[in-house]
A and B are shown apart, each in its own frame.
Chain A
Amino acid sequence: MQQWLDDLIAGTAWLQALPTGLVYTIGILVACKLILLFSSLLAGEVVWLERRVSGRMQARIGPNRVGPQGLLQFLADGVKLLSKEDVIPATADRPVFVLAPILVYLGAFAAFCVIPFGYGLVAADMNVGLFLVLAITSIEVVGVIMAGWASNSKWAVLGAMREVAQMISYELPLGLSALAIALLAGTLNLTDIALQQEGWLWNWYVFRGPFAFAAFFLFFTAALASLKRAPFDLPEAESELVAGFHTEYTGFRFAIFFLAEYSAMILFSMLAAVLFLGGWSPGFPVDLTGPAARWIGFGILFAKTAFLLFVMIWVRWSLPRFRIDKVMYLCYKVLLPLSVVCVLGLSLQVLLGEVLWGDQSAFGRWLMGLGVHGGIR
């Protein structure tokens, strides 16, 4: 972004008169605001999508009154939540209670600053982008445990405990399956990872061998669990815990939790699209790095994100909820060993491929081709 700001300053006379530090600061604030707008408005629309899709799956209509097809429903809901009474329980721990939703939202939203929306359309093109996303989203856990504890309610504490146990556990398969892609890419910079997948469809990291293919599904499952989406929605299981850690929250504070959940869904869908599904690559060789073409790239990435979001909603309304011990079993005895196997397999693939064929993905593609061939026969 610094390059972009420098160009802007060099081309605009009245900006040169201002102190450079001030322009940078304002530029950073504007970028933050844009990302905030993007994530919160889109989160509103994902809520609408969720309600419409679930309606469709349950043979009813869903919200279709406010705006075309009900697209503006989230604005009406927002106004409703804003105008509700803001209740803080008398026995709650006030400062912690107020701080908790802010931390949860921070964890969901701050990581957007390293996500490349298209070539060059990134707020902070960091060398450790992938690591930053995993680190920032772990802040959400602290917010949730604060909310659960400060509410001074059984349901909230139970929900927060489940949430913490679940999120800390699923960070392991999530991180390991992302590490598998870092092994292939040789970098943690998300723009570089996306650029390496340009060209034909088989350049996407999902299609670089059986281990990378498995890593995508491991990543997506672990992401579902750390987003506390059904079938892993135990922290807020409404039939057991009322609403889990946000039972005592009302009005706009509740809305912030809600927005954070959907923002995090968008974040992980975008991350999965960038890591595994080729980023802004449409699946055939085309240069999308030009100043106008990068917006087409943004559209393509957005379509992939929307598809993954739809899959998340689809899964939620198709599968029943797990039991908490089954959730832990799945993490430590199924997903974790599988993701370790993925990392080992991919290291072997990179090593063998580079030694024998001079191409790190050659061995993996050969294995995958063998599998597809066997499948067709």
Chain B
Amino acid sequence: MSALALAAVGPAALPIPDLTPHLPGIVFGGLAGVSVLGAIGAATAPRIVHAAFCLLAALFGVAGLYFLLGADFVALGQVIVYVGGILVLLVFGVLLTGRTQVVLGQEGPRRPTGAILAGAAVFLGLLLAIGGTRWPAQPRPADPTPTTAPIGRAFLDPDQFLVPFEVASVLLLAALVGAAYLARRRREP
């Protein structure tokens, strides 16, 4: 329908339902669906590389949810660290160890007791954390104010996150030095 025709008929003739207030809900549903389906795929895919690629969908979905909540810096951090870094290293590791053709779920676990106990402990911890969090009942509109400056200040404020931030950076530095030490060329005696 052209613009002229639309203008002639007038707004009353348009049977378009106004979904504007539901738009955040629709987007949330889509993103949540993608992340949940991706997570299920990652847990159940028979081939280990497929599981890694399903994880991609889950990570993307979560990044989208961060965007929806107005946490753009965290969302992009999620993409650059998890998708661009960790996921790629994961696939890389699978390719290098040559276990790409392994079909999961064929072999039984050798020591099931420990695995079940560890899994149950993680599940219990998550359950307690979820139960202990107060969830705001009202969805808030995404906040368009910049988040980078407050995050930076919080990291460098001694009263907030300065100590954890510095400790984490020292830990990462130690990991880097360790990796360089392991990968260095050894001199023949």
Which residues does A use to contact B, with CB under 8 Å? 13-14, 16-22, 25, 93, 96, 99, 126-128, 131-132, 134-136, 138-139, 141-142, 145-146, 149, 157, 161, 164, 168, 171, 188
Question: Number of B residues contacting the other chain (C-beta, 8 Å)?
Answer: 36
Question: Are A141 and B88 within 8 A (Cβ)?
Answer: yes
Task: Give the residue of A14, A20, A168, A171 whose beta carbon is less than 8 angstroms from that of B3.
Answer: A14
Measured CB to CB, the closest approach of chain A to B91, in angstroms, equals 5
* Given A99-B53, A128-B76, A131-B80, 10 further pairs, Cβ under 8 A: A13-B7, A17-B6, A22-B18, A22-B20, A128-B147, A135-B76, A135-B77, A141-B88, A142-B84, A145-B88
Measured CB to CB, the closest approach of chain B to A48, in angstroms, equals 31
Please, which residues of chain B bring their CB within 8 A of the CB of A13?
7
Please, which residues of chain B bring their CB within 8 A of the CB of A131?
73, 76, 80
Identify the interface centre among A16, A142, A168: most chain B CB within 10 Å of its CB: A142
Question: Are A132 and B76 within 8 A (Cβ)?
Answer: yes
Please, which residues of chain B bring their CB within 8 A of the CB of A93?
49
Question: Are B83 and A142 within 8 A (Cβ)?
Answer: yes
Question: Are A138 and B19 within 8 A (Cβ)?
Answer: no
A354 to B17 CA separation, bound complex (whole angstroms): 56
A109 to B124 CA separation, bound complex (whole angstroms): 43
Shortest Cβ distance from B11 into A: residue? A17
Please, which residues of chain A bring their CB within 8 A of the CB of B11?
14, 16-18
Please, which residues of chain B bring their CB within 8 A of the CB of A146?
53
Question: Are B92 and A127 within 8 A (Cβ)?
Answer: no
Shortest Cβ distance from B84 into A: residue? A138
Question: Are A128 and B73 within 8 A (Cβ)?
Answer: yes
Question: Are A139 and B88 within 8 A (Cβ)?
Answer: no
13 contacts between A and B (CB under 8 A): A14-B3, A14-B7, A17-B10, A17-B14, A19-B20, A21-B19, A93-B49, A99-B53, A128-B146, A132-B76, A135-B84, A145-B88, A149-B49
A14 to B94 CA separation, bound complex (whole angstroms): 56
Measured CB to CB, the closest approach of chain A to B31, in angstroms, equals 15
Question: Are B72 and A126 within 8 A (Cβ)?
Answer: yes
A123 to B90 CA separation, bound complex (whole angstroms): 34
Please, which residues of chain A bring their CB within 8 A of the CB of B49?
93, 96, 149
Query: B87 near A: Cβ within 8 Å?
Result: yes
Measured CB to CB, the closest approach of chain A to B18, in angstroms, equals 4
Query: B33 near A: Cβ within 8 Å?
Result: no
Question: Are B88 and A127 within 8 A (Cβ)?
Answer: no
Task: Give the residue of A18, A126, A145 whose beta carbon is less than 8 angstroms from that of B14.
Answer: A18
Task: Give the residue of B18, B80, B91 whose beta carbon is less than 8 angstroms from that of A19.
Answer: B18
Question: Are B18 and A21 within 8 A (Cβ)?
Answer: yes
Measured CB to CB, the closest approach of chain A to B51, in angstroms, equals 12
Task: Give the residue of A18, A25, A126, A149 whose beta carbon is less than 8 angstroms from that of B95.
Answer: A149
Shortest Cβ distance from A136 into B: residue? B79
Identify the interface centre among A13, A96, A138: most chain B CB within 10 Å of its CB: A138
A13 to B53 CA separation, bound complex (whole angstroms): 47
Shortest Cβ distance from B22 into A: residue? A21
Query: B85 near A: Cβ within 8 Å?
Result: yes
Measured CB to CB, the closest approach of chain A to B183, in angstroms, equals 11
Question: Are B83 and A138 within 8 A (Cβ)?
Answer: yes
A20 to B7 CA separation, bound complex (whole angstroms): 17
Within 8 A of A (CB), among B130-189: 146-148
A188 to B149 CA separation, bound complex (whole angstroms): 10
Query: B16 near A: Cβ within 8 Å?
Result: yes
Shortest Cβ distance from A186 into B: residue? B149
Please, which residues of chain A bring their CB within 8 A of the CB of B146?
127-128
Please, which residues of chain B bring their CB within 8 A of the CB of A145?
88, 91-92, 95
A342 to B31 CA separation, bound complex (whole angstroms): 40
Measured CB to CB, the closest approach of chain B to A267, in angstroms, equals 16
Known contacts A135-B79, A135-B80, A164-B88; decide if A142 and B16 are in contact (CB<8 Å). Answer: no
Please, which residues of chain A bring their CB within 8 A of the CB of B148?
127-128, 188
Question: Are B84 and A139 within 8 A (Cβ)?
Answer: yes
Query: B127 near A: Cβ within 8 Å?
Result: no
Task: Give the residue of B20, B50, B53, B88 whose beta carbon is less than 8 angstroms from that of A168.
Answer: B88
Question: Are B92 and A161 within 8 A (Cβ)?
Answer: yes
Q: 1/0 per residue B69-106: CB within 8 Å of A?
A: 00011001101100111011101100100001000000
Query: B23 near A: Cβ within 8 Å?
Result: yes
Question: Are B16 and A138 within 8 A (Cβ)?
Answer: no
Please, which residues of chain B bring their CB within 8 A of the CB of A16?
11
Please, which residues of chain A bring their CB within 8 A of the CB of B80?
131, 134-135, 138
Question: Are A127 and B83 within 8 A (Cβ)?
Answer: no
Q: What 4 pairs between A and B have smallest CB-CB spacing?
A: A138-B84, A17-B11, A21-B20, A19-B18
Known contacts A127-B148, A145-B88; decide if A22 and B73 are in contact (CB<8 Å). Answer: no
Query: B58 near A: Cβ within 8 Å?
Result: no
Shortest Cβ distance from B49 into A: residue? A149
Question: Are A142 and B76 within 8 A (Cβ)?
Answer: no
